[in-house]
Structure 1
Amino acid sequence: MNLLDANDRRGAYPASWYAATAQPLALFAPLRGQTKADLCVVGGGYTGLSAALHAAEAGLDVVLLDAQRVGFGASGRNGGQVGTEFNTSQQALEKTHGLDDARKLYDLAQAAARLTRDLAAQHAPDAGYTPGLIHADRFAAEVDHTKADIAHLQDRYGSADHKMLDADEIAALTGSPAYAGGAQNMAAGHLHPLRYALGLARACLAAGVRIFETSRVHTITHGEPAVVRTDQGQVSAGHVIVAANGYGTALTGQTRARVMPINNFIAATAPLGDLADTILKDNHCAYDSRFVVNYYCKSEDNRLLFGGGESYGYRFPRDIAAVVRRPMEQVFPQLMGIQIDYAWGGTLAITRSRLPYVARVAPNVLTASGYSGSGLALAGMAGKLMAQAVKGQSDGLVLLESLPTPRFPGGGTFRSPLLALAMSWYALRDRIGV
């Protein structure tokens, strides 16, 4: 079974609140026959759209292929949170990379958030970027750890955007009684992820990118040129960028051993009515300290969009709303029994290090994936850096290529059952509060 077919109809977006409130592009024809390009981009999510846009703006002839539709995968289904950091602490990066490279990675993550804000403002103003992200800790010991992290960012990196929150402050901002404290980051924020992806696709069209949808890539033959084959056509290209994230790990053996697709779920409640003024009153987004993280924001029509729960097989659960309802009502008991109007799943990708996997798998073939929950901003930056590398400017990409990405135990064959066992253990720790 292929992840592209396991839960979705071919050529159709999932029935999410995002799809219901976005203006889709007309369906692009599939690739048929043979064509040539300077660059072939495989995947029409944030990574691929950013790579195609920046390459086309630099004068390259670009073909973009998507197996479904642009923004179909995680880029059109995620929680919309635009972060300013990698999914690991700066202290950890300093230990593994040294202070100089850790500073460069910090600056890169900050630049990725700025790039996202700028691209959204220019190409997708309807995505409604809104500043403010809250990290919510359940226990006092976690608050102490967060306090140390924030002090480190302020003292060593000069951050003026982070602020600690005590129990009363975080309860007032989130509307939840579930937290002992946390932190606020005003350089981060949230937006409508599918509108953002569609805005990037429109910008690609304006820049001359040739987009083909329902064009599933099944082989990439390395060489000069590289040849990318779909069911009905092929592209001969001077360079290839593989940007399929969790849906495309099989396209390169290196990626399959290091990047693991997992499923995550989101529900959208009915409009909150009078409760809207008490939940996320300043319209920030939030995520909590659970290993299997809960994350949420409020929609423009005052629904709560709440993400929670993971699975590691191909199929989504039959009742996604029930999966998400349980953690949502634990965080917001005042929403007990509220109607859920939309519930959907999506496939993202993680690595063991929780750092993205960026690699040159052949002299003219680049890939980036495995953003581990921090992909909305980092994917766009990775795409931009890969486009620059195709033009010969590779300094920023070399930094990302240096990130350690160990193989999963069992490689591509046994990674799923082994990861499921490990994640089940962490989910149990979440439930019992360890």
Structure 2
Amino acid sequence: MSLNRFQPSYYVDSANASPEYPALTGEHQADICIIGAGYTGLSAALHLAEKGYSVTLLESETIGWGASGRNGGQVCPGHNMGHAELIKKVGREAADSLWDMSLDSVQLVKDLIAEHQISCDLKQGVMHVSAKPGHVAEMRDSVAYKHKVLGYDKIRFVPDDEVQAMLGTERYFGGEYWEDAVHLHPLNYALGLASAAVKAGVTIHEHSKVTGYTSGNNAEVRTASGVVKTQYILLACNGYLGKLEPRVAGKIMPINNFIIATEPLSDELCRTINRDDVAVADSRFVINYFKLSGDNRLLWGGGENYSSRFPSDIPNFVRPYMLNFYPQLKDVKIDYGWGGTLAITLNRMPHFDRINDNLFVAQGYSGHGVALATLGGKLMAEAISGSAEKFDTFRRVPTATFPGGTLLRWPGLVAGMLYFSLRDRFF
């Protein structure tokens, strides 16, 4: 597979070999046509094929070209909306089910990696840390809630001194350590899912941008050079949905996030800044997140923008976030800088929906996409095959449309993000 169409990144340069998949040409038939070959589409395709359906998967670029091949690679339980808040929205039974499914989503990723022998630098442990002393009490309460209310014991509170010993900085404070969480090379995970899907019988077409579709009776999906006649259509486009489906486009807001990769670091320096080789995310609203790669690079994510363009110099855009916590890295060379577009919802919960009888959508993972998008694809497969209970539980979570829809969501979001970024700095 040629990866030249990707924006240069560490992930692309360390990607596993993978074949190219031809563009769609002519007329084809399939039980299911999936639009988008990120985690949602790949997982749905694999699980549907294993159930005996014929599946065609269309991707406008290449496998994992979007956020699925560019993210921080963290696979952690939980949702952006806490369990207590979910109880208020959907009731205790559904909130418990959503929590359980977040645990299932992490286990699903692990199981797929093991079953299909996906080589993706899988490592154990994710740490959420307080960026300010005032955030520590909330972190401690979060751990206690999971122990007492949810009966979950695979998480522990880590006090300030231990966090600072683990991470080699006095700029972070108390945190929560998720023992069962993992982190990985996200592009290689996506490529591994694609390989597994093809082995299960899925037909993949890259460079096949969908120009339109018709759902309902006589459903079909069209590209510039081909058409797929199908029974079901799955929208798995996330931040790249664009104007393809106006009925759900206003439920999400595409935003851009950025990552840098340093040159390979010495073993000693790696142990100093990340003693236990965990993935880390902090408590800022615009979070910093980081981990070590399989070859000892520090991968640091920080900073966002909300336009259609990336910064002209991503390394220098992100580097100050890293140096704010690790000034000792000021002379370390930055080898890579790249960005990706993800989709957020107003409540930061995923948006799952069945638009009509044969048109499904799963999107808006809001930074939890590795685990929840993998689960989302599986749940769509279950819903199509007649077991929609779990998919419908996600559907029950209210997903508001951004005020002003797709036309006015951007200025409103920028104003809101500016407010929270000021809170990150001064409060």
**TM-score under structure 2 normalisation?**
0.97
- Quick check: 1:21 aligned with 2:14? yes
2:342 aligned to 321, 339, 348, which one?
348
Contact 2:139 2:174 in 1 (8 A): no
**Deviation at residue 54 of structure 1 after TM alignment:** 0.3
Amino acid at match of 1:69: T
Q: Which residue of structure 2 lines up, in the alignment, with residue 103 of structure 1? A: 96
The CA RMSD measured in Å over matched residues stands at 1.3
1:168-183 map, 5 Å: 168-183=161-176
Measure the CA separation in 2 of the matches of 1:250 and 1:117: 34
**Deviation at residue 424 of structure 1 after TM alignment:** 1.6
Name the count of aligned residue pairs: 425
Q: Which residue of structure 1 lines up, in the alignment, with residue 136 of structure 2? A: 143
Measured against aligned partners, the alpha-carbon deviations of 1:114-163 in whole angstroms (never above 9, x if no partner) come to 00111112224311221111001022321101111111110011111111
2:387 aligned to 383, 390, 393, which one?
393
Larger displacement relative to structure 2 (342-351 or 16-25): 16-25
- Quick check: 1:291 aligned with 2:314? no
Measure the CA separation in 2 of the matches of 1:390 and 1:346: 30
2:294 aligned to 295, 300, 308, which one?
300
1:90 aligned to 51, 74, 83, which one?
83
Amino acid at match of 1:361: I
Measure the CA separation in 2 of the matches of 1:198 and 1:150: 35
Measure the CA separation in 1 of the matches of 2:271 and 2:342: 32
Measure the CA separation in 2 of the matches of 1:145 and 1:248: 35
Contact 2:125 2:177 in 1 (8 A): yes
2:409 aligned to 406, 415, 418, which one?
415
Contact 1:124 1:200 in 2 (8 A): no
Measure the CA separation in 2 of the matches of 1:305 and 1:10: 20
**Deviation at residue 11 of structure 1 after TM alignment:** 6.9
- Quick check: 1:322 aligned with 2:316? yes
**Deviation at residue 176 of structure 1 after TM alignment:** 2.2
Amino acid at match of 1:330: N
Larger displacement relative to structure 2 (76-85 or 123-132): 123-132
1:375-390 map, 5 Å: 375-390=369-384
Contact 1:225 1:239 in 2 (8 A): no
Any idea what SS the aligned residue of 1:117 has? helix
Amino acid at match of 1:306: W
Amino acid at match of 2:393: L
Measured against aligned partners, the alpha-carbon deviations of 1:192-213 in whole angstroms (never above 9, x if no partner) come to 1011000000001101100000
**Deviation at residue 10 of structure 1 after TM alignment:** 9.9
2:40 aligned to 34, 40, 47, which one?
47
**TM-score under structure 1 normalisation?**
0.96
Any idea what SS the aligned residue of 1:251 has? coil
Cα 1:43/1:325, change in 2 over 3 Å: same
Q: Which residue of structure 1 lines up, in the alignment, with residue 125 of structure 2? A: 132
Cα 1:36/1:379, change in 2 over 3 Å: same
Measured against aligned partners, the alpha-carbon deviations of 1:265-316 in whole angstroms (never above 9, x if no partner) come to 0000011223112121111100000100100000111110000000111110
Measure the CA separation in 1 of the matches of 2:115 and 2:185: 15
Measure the CA separation in 2 of the matches of 1:197 and 1:140: 37
- Quick check: 1:331 aligned with 2:360? no
Amino acid at match of 1:239: Y
Amino acid at match of 1:265: F
Q: Which residue of structure 2 lines up, in the alignment, with residue 427 of structure 1? A: 421
Measure the CA separation in 1 of the matches of 2:218 and 2:204: 20
Q: Which residue of structure 1 lines up, in the alignment, with residue 148 of structure 2? A: 155
Any idea what SS the aligned residue of 1:228 has? strand
Measure the CA separation in 2 of the matches of 1:286 and 1:10: 28
Measure the CA separation in 2 of the matches of 1:191 and 1:88: 24
Measure the CA separation in 2 of the matches of 1:56 and 1:358: 21
Any idea what SS the aligned residue of 2:119 has? helix
**Deviation at residue 51 of structure 1 after TM alignment:** 0.2
Any idea what SS the aligned residue of 1:254 has? helix
- Quick check: 1:62 aligned with 2:64? no
Task: Give every structure 1 segment of 4 or more consecutive aligned residues whose post-TM-superposition deviation is greater than 4 Å.
Answer: none
Identity %: 43
Measured against aligned partners, the alpha-carbon deviations of 1:177-230 in whole angstroms (never above 9, x if no partner) come to 211211101111201101100000000110110000000012121222311111
- Quick check: 1:367 aligned with 2:400? no
Measure the CA separation in 2 of the matches of 1:402 and 1:174: 39
Contact 1:249 1:259 in 2 (8 A): no
1:239-254 map, 5 Å: 239-254=232-247
2:304 aligned to 296, 310, 335, which one?
310
Q: Which residue of structure 2 lines up, in the alignment, with residue 275 of structure 1? A: 269
Contact 1:11 1:68 in 2 (8 A): no
Amino acid at match of 1:100: E
**Deviation at residue 262 of structure 1 after TM alignment:** 0.4
**Deviation at residue 59 of structure 1 after TM alignment:** 0.2
Q: Which residue of structure 2 lines up, in the alignment, with residue 226 of structure 1? A: 219
**Deviation at residue 249 of structure 1 after TM alignment:** 4.1
Measure the CA separation in 2 of the matches of 1:140 and 1:391: 49
**Deviation at residue 95 of structure 1 after TM alignment:** 2.0
Measure the CA separation in 2 of the matches of 1:228 and 1:345: 29
Contact 1:284 1:297 in 2 (8 A): yes
Any idea what SS the aligned residue of 2:370 has? helix
